[in-house]
């Protein structure tokens, strides 16, 4: 697809009433950046966004429940984990959307399989090979001048970019630039296998030529691995040649035992990292053109286990933040009185609704095509 066709497609999709209320999305396309934050292991949503007014919650979690007087109140029913305090400035500035009950029907409780479902935006019993972002980028390519469609910071898994996106995984930009010296821009291939390999090689060369690691930020990034990943993400976004999406990960949310200390440390790391990302992006004037979204393979069981932890569960809460995000609470409070036979929460917001928000609401793309179905975007992007 040529760039002009892309603009036409995006324009048509935008006018096709993608947004509720007949609002027209401002045609911005890939000048807007997406930052995905994967909370690996499955973050416990109930202790992240605490239903502190619900007696059932304290009944299910006598030991690990967050006391009412410790939560950071969002409204009369929901409050954030106290370690998320660095996000409260965003909440008060109406730049933080908190979405409760995100999941999908017939939830799979395997880390491996469930993140595959999230990455490919498949149904629970459907195996797709391409990631949801790869499908979007194939249908509507990013400008050829972009360094890449996506950059994955930390970890080698292509995740939502697998299967056709121009995506590059870097631990840090310097190391990638060093390793990329082994790649040579090749000529055209003689068969599909070689064509594919040479395309990947060219993608590496193009990214290496256009990614830089030398923007000097006044912002101080937290001195943790996640803080470093956020710093690398900020370096990628500061680059001149463009990247549509950046993915960072925070590991360790599989809190089967002694959850309180572990989760508090992780959420503090998350909140400080996100606050630093905002400060950095404000510094370079990119906060209004960046959307940050968290996700994870699943949430955790409503009832605490006997090890002061929680087992694999289903629906969870997630955050979207950015200069154009309409802050507030989305999705109903967790239905602790309607747990399923395994003691798991029903989901209220399909994760593909969030993807539709990104694809349609943020980028103005045809979300239904990339997601193989119609999903309802959340009305949380300001024009």
Partner 1 sequence: MLATRGPLGEKMTLFWHNHFVSSLQKVRSPQLLYRQNALLRSHALGNFGGLLHAVARDPAMLVYLDNAISRKGQPNENFARELMELFTLGEGTYSEQDVKEAARAFTGWSVDPDSGDFMFRQPAHDDGVKTILGRSGSFDGRAVLDILLAQPQTAEFVTGKLWREFVSPVPDPVEVRRIASAFRASGYDIRVALNALLVSDAFYAPQNRAALIKSPVELVVGTLRQFDFTTAGVMPFVVTTNQLGQRLFAPPNVKGWPGGEAWINSTTFLARKAFLEHLFRVEELRAMPAGEMAGGMDGLMAAARLAPGQERYLRAMLQVHFDSGQWLARVNGGEAAAVQRVLLAAAPAGPGASGMQGMDLIRHLTQDAAYQLK
CA distance 318 to 71: 17
> Which residues, including other chains, have CB under 8 Å from residue 216's CB and lie 6 or more apart?
none
Taking CB under 8 A as the rule, does residue 340 contact partner 1? no
Tell me which residues in 177-206 interact with partner 1 (CB under 8 A).
178-180, 182-184, 186-187, 189-194, 196-198, 200-201, 203-204
Cβ 139 to partner 1 shortest distance, Å: 18
- For residue 347, give every residue at least 6 positions away whose Cβ sits within 8 Å of its Cβ, in sequence order, or none: 101, 102, 103, 104, 105, 107, 314, 315
154 closest CA partner among 238, 273, 29, 32: 273
Of 111-130, binders to partner 1 (CB under 8 A) are 112-113, 116, 127, 129
In angstroms, give the least distance from the CB of 162 to partner 1: 7
Query: SS3 string of 121-151?
Result: CCCCCCCCCCCHHHHHHHHCCCCCCCCEEEE
Residue 199 vs 382, nearer CB to partner 1: 199
Residue 163 burial (CB count, 10 A): 17
Which residue in the set 8, 63, 110, 257 belongs to the binding site for partner 1 (CB under 8 A)? 110
Candidates 81-89, 166-174, 224-232, 309-317: pick the segment binding partner 1 (CB under 8 A).
Answer: 166-174
Task: Give the span between the Cα atoms of 31 and 373, in whole angstroms.
Answer: 26
Measured distance between the N- and C-terminal CA atoms of the chain, rounded to whole angstroms: 27
Task: Out of 169, 264, 282, 335, name the contact with partner 1 by CB under 8 A.
Answer: 169
Q: Work out how close the CB of 149 gets to partner 1 at its nearest, in angstroms, rounded to a whole number.
A: 11
Q: How far is the CB of 191 from partner 1 (least distance, A)?
A: 5
Residue for token digits 């609002």?
A: 23
Nearer to partner 1, 185 or 373 (CB): 185
Which DSSP letter does residue 189 get?
-
Interacting residues with partner 1 (CB under 8 A):
110, 112-113, 116, 127, 129, 152, 156, 158, 162-163, 167-169, 171, 175, 178-180, 182-184, 186-187, 189-194, 196-198, 200-201, 203-204, 207
């Amino acid at each position: 697809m040529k760039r002009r066709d892309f603009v036409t497609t995006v324009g048509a999709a935008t006018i096709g009433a993608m947004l509720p209320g007949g609002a027209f999305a401002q045609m911005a396309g890939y000048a807007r950046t997406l930052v995905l934050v994967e909370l690996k292991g499955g973050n416990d949503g109930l202790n992240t966004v605490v239903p502190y007014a619900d007696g059932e919650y304290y009944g299910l979690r006598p030991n690990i429940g967050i006391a009412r007087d410790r939560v950071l109140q969002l409204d009369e029913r929901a409050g954030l984990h106290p370690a998320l305090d660095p996000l409260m400035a965003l909440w008060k500035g109406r730049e933080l959307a908190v979405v409760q009950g995100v999941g999908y029907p017939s939830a799979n409780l395997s880390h491996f399989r469930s993140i595959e479902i999230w990455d490919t935006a498949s149904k629970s019993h459907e195996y797709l090979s391409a990631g949801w972002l790869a499908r979007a980028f194939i249908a509507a390519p990013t400008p050829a001048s972009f360094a890449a469609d996506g950059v994955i910071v930390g970890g080698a898994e292509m995740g939502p970019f697998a299967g056709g996106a121009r995506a590059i995984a870097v631990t840090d930009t310097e190391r990638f630039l060093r390793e990329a010296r082994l790649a040579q821009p090749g000529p055209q291939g003689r068969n599909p296998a070689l064509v594919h390999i040479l395309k990947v090689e060219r993608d590496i060369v193009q990214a290496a030529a256009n990614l830089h690691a030398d923007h000097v930020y006044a912002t101080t990034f937290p001195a943790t691995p996640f803080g470093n990943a956020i710093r690398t993400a900020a370096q990628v976004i500061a680059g001149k040649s463009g990247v549509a999406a950046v993915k960072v990960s925070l590991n360790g949310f599989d809190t089967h035992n002694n959850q309180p200390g572990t989760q508090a440390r992780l959420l503090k790391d998350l909140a400080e990292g996100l606050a630093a990302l905002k400060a950095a992006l404000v510094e370079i004037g990119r906060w209004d053109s960046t959307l940050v979204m968290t996700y994870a393979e699943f949430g955790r069981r409503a009832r605490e286990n006997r090890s002061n932890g929680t087992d694999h569960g289903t629906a969870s809460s997630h955050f979207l933040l950015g200069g154009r995000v309409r802050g507030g609470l989305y999705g109903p409070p967790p239905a602790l009185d309607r747990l399923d036979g395994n003691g798991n929460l029903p989901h209220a917001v399909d994760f593909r609704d969030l993807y539709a928000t990104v694809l349609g609401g943020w980028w103005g793309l045809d979300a239904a095509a990339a997601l193989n179905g119609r999903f309802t975007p959340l009305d949380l992007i300001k024009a």
